[in-house]
Amino acid sequence: MNEKIVLIKPKNVFVFSSYPPLELLSVGTVLDEKGYDVRIVNAAAEEDYADTLSRECRDALIVGVTCLTSEIESAIQITDMIKRDFAVPVVWGGWHSTLFPVQTCNDKNVDFVIVNEGDYSMLRLVESLAGDGPLSEVPGLVYKKGEKVFVNPTSYVNMEQLSLVKYDLVDIEAYSTRRLNDRFSREENVWLPYQSSRGCPHRCTFCVNTVTNNSKYRTKSPGKVVEEVRTLIARYGITHLRIIDDNFFVDRKRVMEICDGFVNNGFDITWDAECRVDYFRPGHLDDELLDLCTRSGLIELTLGCESGSQAVLDLIKKDITVDEIRNCVKQCHEHNILPRCSFVVGIPGERREDILLTARLVNELRKVEPEMAYGVGTLRPYPGCELVDDLVRKGLFKEPETLREWATKKYVRHYTERTHIQPWQSDPGLANSVSFYYSLAGGVLLANHQIESKLARKVNSLFMKSSRNRTEHLFFGLQFDRHLYDFFHKRYLKRLGAPRRKEDGLVAQCGCDNSCQDGVHKTVR
């Protein structure tokens, strides 16, 4: 058949992406299996992506664009370019268009939107356009007929039926050998992101999962996970597995069986995942399971701690306690698991004292685990979530009315600037300083192991040390070092384009793509 389908990952505002585009690889795998010629263009990793796009889109059957809210400017530019030069249908998918399907589809250059999971829906759309079945039967499809926009109901993919992602639909080695800002990448490692489950049953008011039909937890069986990981080791030579699940540890029995499988099959890998701090309790992530996890290779956990203030934790319905955060970091320390703790300040309703409680908690935790990685971000308002809808109701945040308004400077800044002053912050100056100095001290902005040049490593260490001192004493006056650091940091970020340019003195870019302050996920952004 060999009909060509082009899938595009837009550029990130700051730097090039260090992750392979897993969302496009997932959609592409199903199409590839059906015999389509799938081309993935990652504008976030290719400097000359415009030429590649022109070449690939010329004779494409359909073009798919993925889009996070932070990628919107580039996604629109790319879509406009394609529509200007070629008469090809364009479909948008991914988190942003899932949050705003009708608004996105109303754009003059977007023909279709696929809401939620696109693995099979994209295939069904392509088949429908070829005359096989009506558009109204494509799950999650949003389409226009004249002035009207129609939204089809979505359905969940059966994860057990999904094939292992074909990572080599892109030049996977260019990604898998890059170093991220993580413990595992302090040594030479070959890593891949891997998804074993989707969705999360919790109710945090800042999390997009609570609004995108993603609260239902869906999994691959332990047997399937173990077999897929065996293939990743054999086919791609991975030494580290990055589990990117929304919530890997929901089901204790499932985690046990997966870890047992890794141990019994003698897999020689390390792995990391995200975890809730309240799972560290008897009968869930207890000593028995933690032992098994570490025997099977667990070395690092990303933890959404969010705040040192119980009042704020309650406000955002995180359903955890400050003591649970303390217990979790202690347990990680005892089991030799590196905690990557993610905090946030600048939450509506948070008081100055709450910000200071967060700062003090970080100071306390890093005494328990001196190697702990941590970042403090300021809240980024992702509309659709309860917390942000409340800001909208109070007139403190205005949602854009069109897709294109999202790409205006005002909104782009909301989602890309490290420390953004917002009208709902009780003490913007303190929130801003805490966010900056803690993220620098916590090593999530730029870690030494990412820097090749000895001199630059020394300079980075000095900045980290001085931030550590500042944060220890909660002293945020005379911020001259901040300007110097910004200059130093930018100098590196500018050079992060091409993969592994050793002559630039940096082995790879940070895992958080630098557009986040916390550098870790499932935190308030």
Whichever of 42 and 342 has its CB closer to ligand SF4, that residue is 342
Map the footprint of ligand B12 across residues 46-75, applying CB under 6 A: 64-66, 68-71
Cβ proximity to ligand SF4: between 235 and 284 the closer is 284
247 or 425: whose CB is closer to ligand SF4?
247
Calpha distance 148→150 (Å, rounded): 7
Measuring CA to CA, which residue among 4, 68, 72 is closest to residue 32? 4
Among 178, 198, 202, 220, binds ligand SF4 (CB under 6 A): 202
23 binds ligand B12 (CB under 6 A): yes
Beta bridge partners of 125: none
Contacts for 126 with CB less than 8 Å, ≥ 6 apart:
5, 31, 36, 61, 62
- Does residue 207 belong to the site contacting ligand SF4 (CB under 6 A)? yes
258 scored as a contact of ligand B12 (CB under 6 A)? no
Asked if residue 210 binds ligand SF4 (CB under 6 A), the reply is yes
Least gap, CB of 239 to ligand B12 (angstroms): 19
Binds 516, which of ligand B12, ligand SF4, none (CB < 5 to 8 A, cut-off by type)?
ligand B12
How many residues touch ligand B12 under the rule CB under 6 A: the total is 44
Helix-strand-coil percent breakdown of the chain, rounded to 5? 45, 15, 40
* Cβ-based nearer residue to ligand SF4, 76 or 200: 200
Decide if residue 200 touches ligand SF4 (CB under 6 A).
Answer: yes
Contact in structure between 444 and 518 (CB atoms under 8 Å)? yes
Q: In b/e form, how buried is each residue of 177-216, taking b as 16+ CB within 10 angstroms? A: bbbbbbbbbeeebbbbbbbbbbbbebebbbbbbbbbbbee
Q: How far is the CB of 237 from ligand SF4 (least distance, A)?
A: 31
Pick from 43, 110, 114, 447: which binds ligand B12 (CB under 6 A)?
Answer: 114
Residue nearer to ligand SF4 on the CB measure, 210 or 471? 210
Q: Could you give the 3-state DSSP secondary structure of residue 211?
A: coil
Using CB under 6 A, which residues numbered 503 to 522 contact ligand B12? 511-513, 515-516, 521-522
Please give the distance of CA 303 from its chain centroid, rounded to a whole number: 14
Exposed, middle or buried: residue 253 (CB in 10 Å: 0-12, 13-18, 19+)?
exposed
3-state secondary structure of 62: strand
384 binding ligand SF4? (CB under 6 A):
no
- Rule CB under 6 A: say whether 522 interacts with ligand SF4: yes
Q: How far apart are CA 1 and CA 415, in angstroms?
A: 41
Please give the single-letter amino acid code of residue 221. S
276 binds, among ligand B12, ligand SF4, none (CB under 5 to 8 A by kind): ligand SF4
193 conformational bin, left if phi > 0, alpha if psi -120 to 50, beta if neither: beta
Please tell me the distance from the alpha carbon of residue 438 to that of residue 231, in angstroms, as a whole number.
40
The piece of 32-40, 128-136, 198-206, 433-441 that touches ligand SF4 (CB under 6 A) is 198-206
Query: Residue 347, interface with ligand SF4 (CB under 6 A)?
Result: no
Q: How far is CA 60 from CA 6, 27, 75, 166, 370, in A?
A: 6, 16, 18, 20, 53
Please give the structure tokens belonging to residue 363.
């100071």
The backbone region for 476, taken as left when phi is positive above 0, alpha when psi lies in -120 to 50, beta otherwise, is: alpha
Number of residues that bind ligand SF4 (CB under 6 A): 11
- Dihedral-angle region of residue 238 (phi above 0 means left; psi in -120 to 50 means alpha; beta otherwise): beta
CB of 477 to ligand B12, least distance (A): 28
382 binds, among ligand SF4, ligand B12, none (CB under 5 to 8 A by kind): ligand B12
Nearer to ligand B12, 175 or 470 (CB): 175
Q: How many Cβ atoms sit within 10 Å of the Cβ of residue 424?
A: 18
> Counting contacts by CB under 6 A, is residue 228 touching ligand B12?
no
List 154, 176, 195, 307, residue binding ligand B12 (CB under 6 A): 195
Instruction: From the list ligand B12, ligand SF4, none, pick the one residue 122 interacts with, judged by a Cβ distance below 5 to 8 Å according to partner type.
Output: ligand B12
H/E segment holding residue 504: none
- 204 contributes a contact to ligand SF4 by CB under 6 A: yes
Q: What are phi and psi of 21, to 5 degrees?
A: -75, 80
Quick one: what does residue 329 bind among ligand SF4, ligand B12, none, with the CB cut-off 5 to 8 Å set by partner type?
none
| Contact flag: residue 304 with ligand SF4 (CB under 6 A) | yes
Q: Which does 304 bind (CB under 5 to 8 A by kind): ligand SF4, ligand B12, none?
A: ligand SF4
CA quadruple 320, 210, 10, 158: dihedral positive or negative?
Answer: positive
Nearest by Cα to 304 from 510, 512, 524: 524
Quick one: which of 28, 89, 93, 304 contacts ligand B12 (CB under 6 A)?
A: 93
418 versus 525: smaller Cβ distance to ligand SF4: 525
Longest dimension (CA), the chain: 68
Residue 418, interface with ligand SF4 (CB under 6 A)? no
Is there binding between residue 243 and ligand SF4 (CB under 6 A)? Answer: no
Q: CA 128 to CA 75: how far, in whole Å?
A: 25
Q: Which does 210 bind (CB under 5 to 8 A by kind): ligand SF4, ligand B12, none?
A: ligand SF4
**Contacts with ligand SF4, residue ranges (CB under 6 A):** 200, 202, 204, 207, 209-210, 246-247, 276, 304, 522
**Contacts with ligand B12, residue ranges (CB under 6 A):** 7, 12, 17, 19, 21-23, 26-27, 64-66, 68-71, 91, 93-96, 99, 114, 117-119, 122, 193, 195, 207-209, 244, 246, 380, 382, 511-513, 515-516, 521-522, 525
